[in-house]
Amino acid sequence: MNATVAAVLLVPLVAALAVALVGSRAARYVAGAGVAATLASAIDLARRVERDGPAELHVGGWAAPLGILLRADGLAAVLSLAIAIIASTLGFVTVARTTGRETSAARFFAVWLFAWAGSNALVLSSDVFNLYVTLELVTIAAVVLLSIGGERGALRVALRYMLIALPGSLVYLVGVALLYGRYATLDLALIAERMTSTPVTWAALWLLVAGLVLKAALFPVHAWLPPVYANARAIVAALLAAIVGKTAFIVVLRVWPALPHAFAASAGPILGALASGAIVWGSVLALRQVRLRLVIAYSSVAHTGYLFLWFALATPAAWEGAVYIVLSHAFAVAALFLVSDTLERLGGDDRIEQVHGLSARLPLSFFALALAAASIMGMPPTGGFIGKWLLVRAAIETDQWWAVVVLVAGSLVSAGYMFRILRLALTTAGPIERVHAPLAGQFAAFVLGIAGFVLGLGSGVVLDLLAKGFTP
């Protein structure tokens, strides 16, 4: 089991190094092999956790408080598998589009695999400083991916992302320093045992939460995110929205069980209010956009609200619902960005009018769009429906009817902006010829759309795996 945990981290890291060392012509083949091997290691980890339960790996043999503890529980297994499915699907699209003559191909694939390794390390980490380190590794890799290409627009997007992400990281790091100075450990389990309600502790915890809220782009500090998603390369935007954009919330999930009940009780309502604002404001703005990418971006702002709503509800069902929203939205948003990329390649831009007649022109892309839209709206039996239903059930169980109103209202508005797109896709006013577009992007979008659908059908299996060794 220790070898399996190590493989999830080392395979993409070694593959990234190998890609960086080979020439551009061989990079796509080495990257393809690395993507396949990393996907296989994530599948093996999920299978072993499901069969044998959680496992811990002390890096270098050093135990806490000095060592680095990696914990492969149900949450880590589910998240690493979802990351693997999305990253490998997007990665194979990039490999298929690469001819071997692009000078930046080796750099792109190397950083892609490095970001994947950092994401896996993050979901396995079990101390507050290692969570910070892995979060920064993923952030830096995202900035590099945004800037590869050298165009002025790409560099501007990368700079915008970096200028927001780094301050959030610094705020989080100050909180980590205060905790270490007070308790002389960074291990989450030991912090939970030693923590007391002191002014220093509360200041440290609020700094942790504030830094992660900024990095997660939770309302009202979300304005920087839509321009990044709207102007980045489609494959990179898909990676950011599906994986990188979720990492700050995953850190909160890991840290939250170690926090004192009094702090959680005071922070929960505040995060719930911000989450409600994100759901309503993000959904309304998505309804008003004329570009498909901006619809996806503001939908992501709204779904960040669904994630943070868990902290106000604070029940196991709400935690399961939040994790399900992470998974379902990750698959759906990656599929939507790939559909948008296909339309941009055909029409030259991402205006919603480009979707007109999609069902007749590109049936495979239309089915991907429809599946992703159903999950975004929360229609049964998709994963989005499971996540929202679990959140609604938790709100009813805790008599927090305001949350039910917010969840239902957000779902109705999301249905509005998604049906607006689907109506255009189904409209064929006059003869519309089928067009030929590269199959790699279309097929990948369809696979990710199907994954979100299967996520709902297999909810029992996923929830059973999530329950392996993690208590929210």
If DSSP states are collapsed to H, E and C, what string results for 131-187?
HHHHHHHHHHHHHHHHHCCCCHHHHHHHHHHHHHHHHHHHHHHHHHHHHHHHHCCCE
Q: CB under 8 Å, gap of 24 or more: what pairs does 352-355 form?
A: 352/289, 352/290, 352/291, 352/292, 352/295, 352/420, 352/421, 352/424, 353/424, 354/292, 355/292, 355/421, 355/424, 355/425
Q: What does the radius of gyration of the chain's CA atoms come to, in whole angstroms?
A: 21
Q: What is the pLDDT of residues 396-437, one digit of tens each?
A: 999 999 999 999 999 999 999 999 999 998 887 555 555 666
Instruction: Report, as an integer, the average pLDDT of 126-149.
Output: 85
Neighbours of 151 (CB within 10 A): 11
Q: Give me the pLDDT at residue 100, please.
A: 57
| Residue-wise pLDDT tens digits, 7-49 | 899 999 999 999 888 866 778 888 888 899 999 999 999 999 9
Q: Which two tokens stand for residue 136?
A: 């920064």
For residue 231, the model assigns a pLDDT of 83
Report, as an integer, the average pLDDT of 246-273: 87
pLDDT at residue 95 greater than cutoff 90: no
Question: What's the CA gap between 320 and 78, in Å, rounded?
Answer: 12
What is the pLDDT, as a whole number, of residue 66?
Answer: 58
CA angle 73, 176, 240 (to 5 degrees): 60
Q: Does the reported pTM lie above 0.85?
A: yes
- pLDDT confidence of residue 472: 65
Residue partners of 288: CB distance under 8 A and separation at least 6: none
The pLDDT-based confidence of 234 (bands split at 50, 70, 90) is confident
pLDDT score of 302: 94
In angstroms, the CA 20 to CA 22 distance is: 6
Query: Residue 206's pLDDT band (boundaries 50, 70, 90)?
Result: very high
Write the pLDDT tens digit of every residue in 339-393. Answer: 999 888 887 778 888 888 888 888 899 999 999 999 999 999 999 999 999 999 9
- The overall average pLDDT reported for the chain is 86
